[in-house]
Structure 1
Amino acid sequence: MPGQESWRNPMIYQVFYTSRSLFGSGNATDHEILSVARARNAATGVTGYLFRTNMAFMQFLEGHEADVRPILRSILDDPRHDQIDIWPAMRIRERQFAGWDMGYANGLADENLAHVARQRLDGVTVDHVRRYLTGLRAA
């Protein structure tokens, strides 16, 4: 059943990526992306959060690896994304975005993406990035 964690592997697969958008924030493509993501994620039990700057996406996806990997592949093949940077996947004990088929925060500054990119170069963990981005969402 979607959303049920496997008794054989209680660890949840989580991936984070950043990408440049070929369209500015607020373009009709944002609505398309969210509509498809929410329906697909609800059907497969995947949860996540999409952070949007004017010209970039930063997204967390989490769930069973067999459900998350095809979604990530579709993002890699999606012509609306460019310069995709996928951080190393993690195994986590509990979902960080439980209850969100696909949460969404728009209006982050492009400097936030630059900050996240610098953190990657500095070896900062994805968990730290998650706390940083969710803090921006709450501000």
Structure 2
Amino acid sequence: MLVRLVYASRASRELSPQDLQDILRRSRDHNPAEGITGLLWYNDGVFIQVLEGGRDPVNARYKRIVMDNRHDAPILLTYQEISERRYAGWSMGQVNLHRLNPGLLLKYGETQKLDPYRMSGAMLTALFDELVSSGAIECA
């Protein structure tokens, strides 16, 4: 059974670009073996991540994230059974903030600053879908 999970959290400390690259590298190294795919957004100390895959591996990954001391205030935004993956092409894609159209943030949020704590999981999923179609996601 496939599931999609979307969560947000605040970074417990400031992350350097190298810290973020290390997180992405580890995800890209480990996710294929667990059958997990997805996307990561990190900006202004906020993580938003979409995880897709089998129920047990996705649940186990989310549990590790919640217990990880790099994350504060994790919030589960949506969790659903799915018939197919939306982000099957990425072991862990990353939002390229330099390619981000600020108008997309206004389309789905109150301001041009993304605040996942004030958005629904459906809104964030729709935003991520538009980011994929606009070419704002990168793999490496």
TM-score w.r.t. structure 2 length? 0.75
Q: Within 5 Å, which residues of 2 pair with 1:30-45? A: 30-45=20-35
Pairwise CA RMSD: 2.2
Question: Could you list the runs of 5+ residues in structure 1 that have no partner in the other structure?
Answer: 1-8, 121-125
Distance 1:26 1:135 in 2: 27
Q: Within 5 Å, which residues of 2 pair with 1:64-75? A: 64-75=54-65
For residue 128 of structure 1, what is the amino acid of its counterpart?
A: M
TM-score w.r.t. structure 1 length? 0.76
- The answer as to whether partners of 1:25 and 1:106 remain within 8 angstroms in 2 is no
Which of residues 2, 9, 12 in structure 2 aligns to 1:22? 12
Distance 2:15 2:129 in 1: 19
For residue 75 of structure 1, what is the amino acid of its counterpart?
A: I
Aligned to 1:111: 113
State the 1:25 CA deviation. Answer: 5.3
State the 1:83 CA deviation. Answer: 1.0
Distance 2:129 2:123 in 1: 10
Q: Within 5 Å, which residues of 2 pair with 1:120-139? A: 120=120, 126-136=121-131, 138=134
For residue 95 of structure 1, what is the amino acid of its counterpart?
A: R
State the 1:63 CA deviation. Answer: 0.5
For residue 44 of structure 2, what is the amino acid of its counterpart?
A: N
User: Which 4+ runs in 1 deviate beyond 6 A?
Assistant: none
Question: Could you list the runs of 5+ residues in structure 2 that have no partner in the other structure?
Answer: 103-111
